[in-house]
Amino acid sequence: MINFVRTISTAVSWTRQSCHVVRLQRFRDGFKVLACWRGEISKERSLAELIVQGVRQVAAADQEFIVAGGDTTGWGTAELSLPALSASELKNALQFELRKQTPIAPEKLRWGYRVLESSDKGSKIRLFYIKDEEWARWCAALNGLSHVDVILPAYLLLDPLFAEDECFFLEEGGQAGFACRLLDGNRSIARESIPEDLTLEKAFPPLGSFQLGPLQDLSVAEQTAFLPTLLLAAYGLTRNSNQDQRTLIPPPDSLKAHRYIASKVIAAGLLVFTCITLMLGMARQLQVRAAHLRKIDSEIRKVQAEIKALKASQGGTSEKEFVAILEQELRDNVQVMPSFPEALLELTNLIEAPTWAASRMEWNAGQISLQLQSPQRDLELPGRLEESPLLGDVRELSSSYNQGNYLSRYTLNARYDTPEEKVEFEQRRLKRQQQLQQQKEQEQLRAQETAAEEEGLEEQNGLENETQNGAETNGVDEEQE
């Protein structure tokens, strides 16, 4: 798929006798010719003057993308299929191929290349080379322009823009031309005689995607002469024109484009300002940190001085003990707390089935966060966790009921109980034991009362049965009498 990166470009091409200039616009799915110009080279007007005049006549903007294509002599090309290579390896391979393509010494040539296709398996390269004196003549002809972005013959630009089309470009004089055909997937450029049935559409099949504009008023022969220039201008609208600038022969420094200078200067200024601001901010932070460290050092020296003074003036045992404790606190302020395995084992013992951890338990420097899930709510669990000698500061953050399960989120700290907490928890445990003992005694008392009532009922039932049996016996005796 061809990507277009600009809407307007200008193209310049020339032969030994004439010069053609086209200004082209990307329009919907095709191209639109905005302006065109043609001039004849003569003794009064040189090629360089015609090129400057032509670019001025088509009203090209100062920063517009310009593509130039020279005449048909003094250069050559080759289609190469190479494996995947690094940049340096590719350059060496192309230099080797260049020696195979022409007997001219490499130091007398300028060369560049276009990457037509590229993949992990390899790449398809179009090599372009030209004699030094011919390249110098092309650059001299363009020297009157403010800039030129790409200098390349039009015949080498068909791919990949019009990769499926075979074109025929007439040679100056109309006796022959250059046929650009596809042979086994490669582009072949050969000089041939003009076919008898050649028309403008057959010579340049992509012409249907162009709105010719002012070119429509010209004759077929004049339109045919503009075909290479149209191809150059269409190429200048594509992304390939940007990519090829890195691999083709670069224009001379005097012809290189200097676009967006103000924007680049502003961007550079903003970058410098940002860097300076960041450096000043970092310096300020370092100063603040250094001041803070100096303050801490000052406090340490102050405390050490007080300790020395206390040592010098201490007289009692209590003062010695105070100084020793203070020195120990200064040496290591390490908070003693249970380790993670100890806390995990304690939680495993305290959290009983059917309650289980519904999500990952988090441990952050002694702070524990976990979520418990249970089909029934255990109201005594927070108390058991709080009374653990290894856990404390139990807080229930949230509680919800979902699909038959209670979800509770807790946070607690892994720490040893303080002496006050030990006394309080011991009192709680004693109180619970007393309550359990009272409950047991009450249950035993209720059980004894229930047993006594059952015995009384059994005795009463026995007396009633005896009385009834005696009455039955007396009745039988009376009947016998």
- Residue 91: phi and psi, rounded to 5, are -65, -45
Sequence-ordered strand ranges (E) for 315-432: 356-357, 362-364, 367-374, 391-402, 405-414
Question: Measured between alpha carbons, how far is 420 from 423 in angstroms, rounded to an integer?
Answer: 5
**Overall pTM surpassing 0.75 (yes/no):** no
Question: Measured between alpha carbons, how far is 434 from 356 in angstroms, rounded to an integer?
Answer: 30
Q: How many helices (H) and strands (E) does the chain have?
A: 12, 17
Of 225, 91, 126, 131, whose CA–CA distance to 139 is shortest? 131
Count Cα atoms within 13 angstroms, Cβ side, for 162: 24
Question: Is the bond leading into 103 cis (omega within 30 degrees of zero)?
Answer: no
Tens place of pLDDT per residue across the chain (481 aa): 688 999 999 999 999 899 999 999 999 889 999 999 999 999 899 999 999 999 999 999 988 999 999 888 889 999 999 999 988 899 999 999 999 988 888 889 999 999 998 888 889 999 999 999 999 999 999 999 999 999 999 999 998 889 899 999 988 777 889 999 988 888 888 889 988 888 899 999 999 999 999 999 999 889 999 999 999 999 999 999 999 999 999 999 999 988 767 788 899 999 999 999 999 999 999 999 999 999 999 999 999 888 888 777 655 667 677 777 877 777 765 567 888 888 888 888 888 888 878 777 888 888 888 888 888 888 888 888 888 888 888 888 888 888 888 888 889 988 888 888 888 888 888 887 888 888 888 888 888 888 888 887 877 777 777 777 666 666 555 555 4
Walk me through the domains of the chain, giving residue ranges and CATH numbers. Answer: 8-257 (no CATH), 264-331 (no CATH), 340-417 (3.90.1520.10)
Query: What token pair was written down for 265?
Result: 């200067």
Count Cα atoms within 13 angstroms, Cβ side, for 419: 0
Question: Is the bond leading into 338 cis (omega within 30 degrees of zero)?
Answer: no
